[in-house]
């Protein structure tokens, strides 16, 4: 692997992923809202930020929110708020879709390349046993569908490409600090190591899949 693009590189997981790749000698292009004004919810910002970039051996989309600013994941249906849900979908689903729109140009056609979008196990419809967190769950489920559809389309023109959704586990970052409860967490660098190990083992036969940090398939 010679070069990579990490979107959301100022966040806990994104920064760890970029740093670990650079430690492996990979040339990393970092993009984030805080450092570059790269707003994944705005199509003009995404288009301008990605213009002229690529092709990349690896693209990682490490963006997302648990809830809109000032809001919290819903504990019940009665807590659903239209504006907060709209923001969750804008960041967690529409943002990755706007990035994946550029995937055919960002990935080479003549050699293996991978694109991974970090979603979440709670976005699995089949794995939902307790309800709640409606906006986050639904927006991540939507992101999973977008990744799956993008993989189908990419396979028609990029025979060596792999496009997947990844669940990083519960990572100890400010993003999860108030919601980890009793769930075990891992430091960002460990999460990055796990994810990159999974990505390295994936190939075109895995494209369109949903995998966790240990490389196990997650049900849709």
Q: How many whole angstroms separate alpha carbon 76 and alpha carbon 124?
A: 18
Q: Which domains does the chain have, with CATH numbers?
A: 3-212 (3.40.50.720)
Tens-digit pLDDT profile for the chain (220 aa)? 799 999 999 999 999 999 999 999 999 999 999 999 999 999 999 999 999 999 999 999 999 999 999 999 999 999 999 999 999 999 999 999 999 999 999 999 999 999 999 999 999 999 999 999 999 999 999 999 999 999 999 999 999 999 999 999 988 866 555 655 556 788 999 999 999 999 999 999 999 999 999 999 999 9
Q: How many whole angstroms separate alpha carbon 191 and alpha carbon 25?
A: 19
CA torsion 142→198→214→192, rounded to 10°? -90
- Predicted structure pTM score: 0.94
- Tens digits of per-residue pLDDT, 23-66? 999 999 999 999 999 999 999 999 999 999 999 999 999 999 99
Other Cβ atoms less than 10 A from the Cβ of 2: the count is 9
**Residue 129 β-bridge partners:** none
What contacts 43, CB < 8 A, 6 or more positions away?
98
First to last CA, the chain: 30
Mean pLDDT of the chain: 95
The token pair at 178 is 């108030």
């Amino acid at each position: 692997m010679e070069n990579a693009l990490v979107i959301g590189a100022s966040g806990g997981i994104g920064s760890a992923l970029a740093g670990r790749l650079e430690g492996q000698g990979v040339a990393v292009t970092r993009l984030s809202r805080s450092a570059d004004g790269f707003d994944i919810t705005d199509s003009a910002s995404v288009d301008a930020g990605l213009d002229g970039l690529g092709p990349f051996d690896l693209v990682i989309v490490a963006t997302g929110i648990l809830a809109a600013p000032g809001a919290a994941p819903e504990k019940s249906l009665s807590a659903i708020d239209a504006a907060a849900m709209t923001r969750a979908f804008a960041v967690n689903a529409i943002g990755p879709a706007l990035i994946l729109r550029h995937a055919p140009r960002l990935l080479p056609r003549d050699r293996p390349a991978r694109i991974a979008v970090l979603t979440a196990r709670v976005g699995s419809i089949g794995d939902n046993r307790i309800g709640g967190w409606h906006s986050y769950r639904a927006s991540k489920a939507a992101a999973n569908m977008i990744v799956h559809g993008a993989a189908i389309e990419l396979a028609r023109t990029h025979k060596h490409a792999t496009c997947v959704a990844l669940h990083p586990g519960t990572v100890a970052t400010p993003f999860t600090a108030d919601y980890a409860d009793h769930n075990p967490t891992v430091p960002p660098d460990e999460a990055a190591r796990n994810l990159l190990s999974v990505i390295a083992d994936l190939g075109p036969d895995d494209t369109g899949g949903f995998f966790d940090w240990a490389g196990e398939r997650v049900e849709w």
